[in-house]
Chains A and B, each alone.
Chain A
Amino acid sequence: MRSEKEVERAIELYSDTVRRLCMVHLKNHADTEDIFQNVFLKYAVSSVSFESESHEKAWFIRVTINACRDLIKSFFRKHVVSFESFDFLNSIAEIPENMTLENKEILEAVLSLPEKYRRAVYLHYYENLSAPEISKIIGKNTNTVYTLLTRSKKILREKLGGYEYE
């Protein structure tokens, strides 16, 4: 069991990362709050000792992704969610108002990708993880990750057009 100080430190360091991952996977604030709290609770009760800050961050990324996927899986199992509720553009209620129009367009384009693509895009473009690192986190093989990134680029190019790509 970790101490209060360790938990507070982790929340300060990783809350934005966990929040962004929840935004990539989930569509409402209630689910985000649940997952957010559960991830930090898992951290509090885990006895993993981290070799470095990057090792610790990778742990948070992996646990958050697994928690989001478990939650989504339980929705699919219960057949509660209809296709209409996957209208990603309209259901994105979490975009802050102080964003520029350009930022909003980019975010909406990324969040409108199918889940496995937007996850790969976020981890690669924002968290700067390489394909092998992403493959370890999401449990797919490296070539699959390269394919996801290539296809995502193509879809984003069609949606946004006019941007240079790396």
Chain B
Amino acid sequence: MNEKMKIKEAFDKIHAEEELKEKTKEFVLSKINDSKNQAKTYSFPRKIMQAAAVFVVFLSFAGGALCFVPTVEISIDINPSIELGVNTFGRIVSVEGQNSDGKALADSLDIRFLNYSDAVNKIVESEKISSLLSKDEILTISVIGNGRMQSKQSKKILTNMRSFAKNRQNTYCYYAPKEEVKNAHKAGFSYGKYRAFLKLKSLDSTVTEEKIRRMTMREIHSCIESHIHDELETKMEAEPWENSMTEQKSTRRMKNSAHFHKKHHGHEN
């Protein structure tokens, strides 16, 4: 029997335990049922909310700057990349696609004047994004504030977004100071993608902006993981080698000593 068949035979003996399968069935089915119940009770009176938002906008028309100027921005990256401007009332006042897919997604969504939580939820639940997430792509949500000191509003949004991300697979949330975001935009990236690019570049100096532009967040993250892993494995593989090198050195020393003895005394010990 050759090697391949022996490996096959060995792994054939490994099976998922019945207890593990039962526990998993219970776990998954309970999550499915929880989600169904949540969908029933969680309903926003959307038209009322939108009408109220329009009314608020109308009332503050005289002091329009308050309503239309974003005080916090939220960047959503999976490829597409999209940035949302949130005003002081927590409403979306601007939606900007950061790449062609992002622009297409921004055009297809009706999220202006929604509360930022609803807007992010709507984006993540959209067909395009949920299809990407189901293919194991990575979504990052960056909350962009003014400078390194977070405002009260950006802290609150960050807390909510972190909580949102925590309950979802493959979803991560960061705080991003505005200066760093400016650098990202200068390079033609949304913040989430730019952050991932910088991380990868610190591990692989050959990576270029052009290459990153074509990659999804999952692809960039996989490259990062791969580099970290390779570095660690190289370190770990070196350790057993160090032990065997020590053995080889001492063997050589013994041989050399035996040779020296033979050379000078005519026989080995």
Contact = CB atoms under 8 A, between A and B. Distances in A.
B213 to A, nearest CB: 18
Contacts of A73: 225, 228-229
A157 to B, nearest CB: 8
B171 to A, nearest CB: 12
B60 interface: no
A16 B3 contact: no
Interface string B223-242: 10110110011001101000
Contacts of B169: 38, 41-42, 45
B222 A139 contact: yes
Nearest to A156: B3
Given A7-B28, A11-B24, A76-B228, A164 B2 contact: yes
Contacts, number: 140
Interface residue tally of chain B, by bracket? 35 or more
Contact of A4 (B10, B29, B236): B29
B175 to A, nearest CB: 18
Contacts of A15: 15-16, 20-21, 24
A19 B15 contact: yes
A166 to B, nearest CB: 5
Contacts of B10: 99, 103-104, 106-107, 110
B13 A33 contact: no
Given A45-B134, A73-B228, A86-B236, A103 B13 contact: yes
A119 B39 CA distance: 40
B47 interface: no
Contacts of A45: 31, 35, 134, 169
A103 B9 contact: yes
Given A11-B21, A45-B134, A139-B222, A115 B229 contact: yes
A15 B21 CA distance: 7
B236 A7 contact: no
A106 B7 contact: yes
A36 B2 contact: no
A89 interface: no
Contacts of B4: 125, 165-166
Chain B binding surface, main DSSP class: helix
A139 B227 CA distance: 12
A130 interface: no
Nearest to A10: B28
A130 B114 CA distance: 49
Contacts of B16: 15-16, 18-19, 36
Contact of B11 (A7, A42, A115, A122): A122
A150 B3 CA distance: 13
A42 B219 CA distance: 19
B14 A23 contact: yes
Nearest to A110: B7
Contacts of A70: 225
B33 to A, nearest CB: 9
A36 B22 CA distance: 12
B134 A48 contact: yes
Contacts of A1: 32, 35-36
The 10 closest A-B pairs by CB, nearest first: A46-B134, A15-B16, A19-B16, A164-B2, A106-B10, A103-B10, A125-B7, A107-B10, A163-B3, A139-B222
Given A46-B134, A73-B228, 17 more contacts: A1-B36, A2-B32, A7-B29, A11-B21, A12-B21, A20-B14, A33-B23, A37-B23, A41-B31, A42-B169, A44-B28, A66-B136, A70-B225, A96-B14, A99-B13, A115-B229, A139-B226
16 contacts: A7-B29, A15-B24, A16-B16, A20-B11, A33-B20, A36-B20, A41-B169, A45-B134, A66-B222, A73-B229, A114-B233, A115-B229, A163-B2, A163-B3, A165-B3, A166-B4
